[in-house]
Every structure is written in C-alpha cells, then in structure tokens.
Structure 1
Amino acid sequence: MERRTFLRGAVIGTSAAAFGGTLMRGAAYAAPAQPGPSPYGALGAADANGIQLPAGFTSRVIARSGQRVGSTSYVWHNAPDGGACFADGTGWIYVSNSEISPGGGASAVKFSSTGAITGAYRILADTRQNCAGGRTPWNTWLSCEEVSLGAVYETDPYGAKAAVRRDAMGKFKHEAAAADPVRKVVYLTEDESDGCLYRFVPTTWGDLSTGTLQVLKAGTGTSGSFTWANVPDPDGSPTATRNQVSGAKRFNGGEGCHYANDTVWFTTKGDNRVWRLDVANNTYALAYDDSLVSGTAPLTGVDNVTGSSSGDLYVAEDGGNMEICVITPGDVVAPFLRITGQSGSEICGPAFSPDGRRLYFSSQRGTTGSSSGGITYEVTGPFRS
C-alpha cells in the first residue's frame, strides 16, 4: 500500500535552518502550536495546477509519473515520495523516492541556476517501497524502505556512485532520517503503530558502514527526559528492533524527521502530532497535537516535515485536506498551500532549493488516486528568510 512519506528534506547552503523563538528554540515544555494567521496571508483561488497559494507565489509541474521529465528522455517514477535538494554548481538537484514494491528506488532532477530542468536520472533501483529518508552533510541521500525488515540505502544524488545498503543502520520499517552534525549521529523514525525513535552512531562520521544503533528510552508521557540505549541486534530478526530494549518509548506511526539547531522534529501520523526533541538537554515535548488546538485543527494527517531559514517548519499532510502547513517560531500553525481535486492522494517530499526560494514536493497519486498518477511540483515566491 503506497502512502505517506518522509522526507524530511533538509535545507542546505544559504538556507541552512536556524530556528529561533519559543517553539523552535526547544523550550523544555512549551505549549503546542495553536491555529493563527499565516505569515503569508490567506490562500487564494486554485491556480491552473489546482494549487491554492498565498499572494505572490506561483507553482509549476516538474514531473509526472510515467512521463518524460521536461525535455529529457527520463521517465519519472510512480508514487513519488520523500525528497531533498542538493547544491550542484550554480544549480541544484531534487531527489525523490518511489514508494512502490517491487521496484521502488529513487530518481533525481537537475536544475540550472535559473531553474530550468537540465537532466533527470535514476539513482537507486530494485528496492522496496522507498518512502522517506534524509540528506547527509556529505551530500548523499539516505533512501529508506518502509517494509518489515526494511533497509537504508545510501545513494549519490549526482549519479556518479552506486548506491550502498547500510545494514548497520538497522532492519525495520524505516521512514525518515535526519543527520545531526553536532553529535555526529543520524536519527531514524519507524512507521509502526508501536514504533520507536532511533539514532545511529557511526564509528566514523561520514562513513555509515559501521556503528551502533540506539533506541530512545523515556516514560509514557508527552514530555519529559530521555536516554539512549543500544539495540543488541540491529538485524531485527528474530526479535524486532523495537522489542529488544525494555523501556523503549513507543510512538504511533513515525513519519517525517528534521534536525536543526540542537532540535529534532518528527511527526507521528497515528495521533497527528509533531514532536520536539531537545538533544542538547535530552528532553522531549509536543510541538503540535491536533487534539489540543483551540477550534478546528488546520493540520491533520501529519507526515513529511522540513524547515526554512526563517525558522518556519513545513509539515505535509497525508489525508487532511491536502495541505502543507507552516508552524512558525511564534507557535502559530496555519495552511501554506492546498492542493485541490486530489483527495485520494497525499503530499510528499517537501524540500527547499539551496537558496530557499523554491519549495519542491509531490502529490503521490495525483488526480487519479493511483501510483501511476504522481505529480511533482515546484512553488516559487517570497519565502521568509
């Protein structure tokens, strides 16, 4: 079943996220975000691509499943999912997973400095249901399999090196990944109703071939302190990784994951929550919970997450009303965009271009409701910096 993402697409280059404010600074037990006016204003009428955007923003279609990308000969994959952007000289690259099984894998689209499409190609093939993943500081894409005993594959967005399976990062129903260059670890979410949050500690930073897989331990509450414990058998067989450590904290359907400024943000779709880990002080709390908002919750079906240089967090919906919502440093949550006429789909893979002026994302099943109907978009406009 194709659904949900990750992605956590990390912002890079001049767009490196630098969160501030109460929520983004990771105050130990700050109240979850509440609905309020968007910093970009109200959404306008749907454009020619069926997307409602604030004033000053425009959209374009980058790729469609089963069709050639731009003027290239490369045919875009089905069920586009998690994604990220990478600097490429004066241009950039957007990488996207394919959440189908068998087949899966990931593809890349190259852009010039003006945003023109200059190439497209496959970077990973013959894997299973590649949902989300994460970008590394050494410019590789971690593509994660969302299947039982799924693996993490380290891929080359530039298409020069072959993908490598990273077994040391554990075998479980992987979702998203987020690299922390300060503590030199990679955080990993698990898409199970009783899943866990992990971190992988490489033996050598920059080399994911060996290291230690750890799981977060904490109480049953929505805030408090946490510790990390080694997972004895990362292979997850015969005992699943999430069941090997007593006291491992359970999360209801781990999805997107994003790191910035000593904080890990990750989402859980089963309870429509955005969690915040203060990894400098080893505390956790809720950044958003749809059951705790005043009035109608603007964000439901929480899924992929990414951040911008302004400190805004962008959360994509799987379900809800097909929105990407923004959570501001002032603890306000509001719709940023809405895709119309695609209620049988989900939004995947939000990621900013290196200069922070363009946001990429996909509708996994588009207007058809089928994996062959995926559409990948770009939104350009006056994003806050």
Structure 2
Amino acid sequence: MVPGKKVGLKIWTFRLALLLPLAGMLALLEIGARVLAYQSDSELRRGLDGVGRVVTKGELSLQHIIRWHANPKLIYELIPNLSGSFRGQPLAINELGFRGPSVQPVKAPDGFRVVGIGDSVMFGWGVADDEVYMAQLGARLTQRLHGRKVDWVNAAVPGYNTVNEVETLERKLLQLAPDVVIVDHVRNDLYLPGFLQKRQPYFSLRQSFLADWVRNRLGGVHLPDSGLQRPPDAFRDQNFSGREVLIPEQYRQITGIEAFRRAVHRLAELAREHGFRVIVFAHFGVEPEPRAVLRDAGLELINGYPSIREYLSERGRADYVGSALTVSADDSHPSALHHRMIAELLVDHVVGGAKDAESAQVLQGG
C-alpha cells in the first residue's frame, strides 16, 4: 500500500474511533431525553405536574402556561400557582388556575362575587395583572357597593370558545357561589379552541428531544411539553357551520352554532338553578345567528362597539387596530386603556342588578 494512503487510512480510523463513541453517547442521551419527556408528559396528563410550580426566569409563551386536561370539553387549562412574564407583562395565576389574586372558597356573608369566563380578551393578553378589566371592575364595584365585600374571579383562558367557557363555569366555578357571571363574547367563540391535544412523536427521527431539552434550559423555562398543539390554520378562522364534517371528529361537539346553542342554554339553566345573573359582553357586537341564540336563552347582552366607535370618532380615527385601544399596531387585543373603558361600561350594569337584588331581599324580608 502506498505510504500516503496508509496515513490517510489511519487518520480516518482515528476519526471514527473518536466519533463512534460520541455518536453512541448522543444516541443514548437522545433516548434518555425521550424517556424523560414521556414520563414528564405522563405526569402532566395525570395532573401531578404543574401544581405549585413558579417560573420567574425567562419570558413565558402561551404553551408554557397551559396544560392538557382530560375533560374533552375543556381540553386544556392554565397551570395553577405560576408566575412570570407573559407578553412583556407580569403574570400571576392563582391556586385555582385563574389569573389574579387568591380566592377564598367560601364567599363572605355580605360578599358580592363576580366571575368572568372568556378567552384571551378577558384574560388580558398583553396587559398587566392589575390592568385586566375584571380587576378594574372589582375595584369599581368595591367603591360603589358600600358595605359589601367584593371579590372577582377572572376564569378566562386564551383560545377558549363558548363550550370551553361554560364547562369551566360548571366544573370549577359554581362552588364559588357567584352573584354575577360575565361572559366575554368574541366572534371566534363558535370556532375550534386555541389548542387541541397532540400525539407526541416519541418514535420519530424528525425531532430531537435532546435539542428541545437543551433549548428550554438555555431559555430559562423548565416546563414539560403541554401535550397540546395549535389547530391547523384551515380550522382556526372558520366556524364551519354546516360543514362540521371538516372538523376532527372528537371536536365536532364543541364547535359551530349548535354547540354554541347547547352551551348558551346550559348557561341559562345554570343561572336559574344557582341564582346568579349572566351578562354577555360583546366588544364588536354579535352576529345575527348567535345573537338570536342569546336572545332565545334570555341572556342580557351588552354591546361594546358603540363606545369603541365613539372613542375613535372623537379622535378622528377610522381604524381600531393600531389605535390607543389596542395592545399594538400588530395586536388587536384590548390595551390597558380599553380594559379600563370596558370596566367603566360594565360597572353600571352590574351595580344596577346588585341594587335591584338588595331591594328584592328587603321587600321579601318585610
């Protein structure tokens, strides 16, 4: 053999001797990362993970603050006892898994409790904890309802539709004995929820669990995969009324006008059974078909669009997005200013009903 070829062969042999153990070690680490991911995800699904976790380092994404839920009408929920920075704003989720301060399970004898169910708008996407309109409404009610202990619960979850919201009320909030339930209605309340359950590719070679683990560690967020994924784009912006066959089968019962109708009538039934008042707040009004459903159920509807139109008109603006009422020019979620306007709009309606209820109690007592 030519001496040069012998040297080249020795070099390649030496390289292989170094690379093969390294490749084997990486393969073992990858297998270990997949096993750990499976164990962690399994704990998450059993509800054993996520409780009591506090995250203070790194910016949280939406997938960091939610977890899978076994109830097919909920699909996912916020992780309890979690705090950090979300969309550049402080975020605190209480022990019940709702954004905001702790809530006493038993309402005070002289208490007045307002509960809100909704999606990212009521949740307060892009605003701080004390800027969300449920927090501001609670502060205004405390000033207006003298002598009563007012507390509030913001049970909104980003991406929820009306079925998810009513299920949250029935499964998690009735025991809190609300006096008023505010439903934040937006157009996509008839659409698929923001997340669906996903199947993890534990046996796929297209994804490196080791790389994902390293990336999360470097990012300062140490959370397992939520077991959730966004719906395909084709399903995210349509209500699919009359075309339910296009929706994944396991989600057909929670999407579309008939699912909305069932949820709304269940909400009205719960209100009668448990003696609370329902106020549906719609930022941009309600389209004819869902509005007819709300009317048939006898629910009170407040349209927030006139106040938006008045604000923009007074300032010579035509476009809502990019105005002071939105988080930014690229994000149409309500700004802190808009949340304050919503609270001011709602407080008169809530107080009026509360005083009517007090008068009725006095008359009955007399």
Range into which the TM-score falls when normalised by the shorter chain: under 0.3
The TM-score normalised by the length of structure 1 is 0.23
- Bigger radius of gyration: 2
**TM-score, normalised to structure 2's length?**
0.24
Bigger share in helix: 2
User: RCO (CA 8 Å, sep 6+): is it higher in 1 or 2?
Assistant: 1
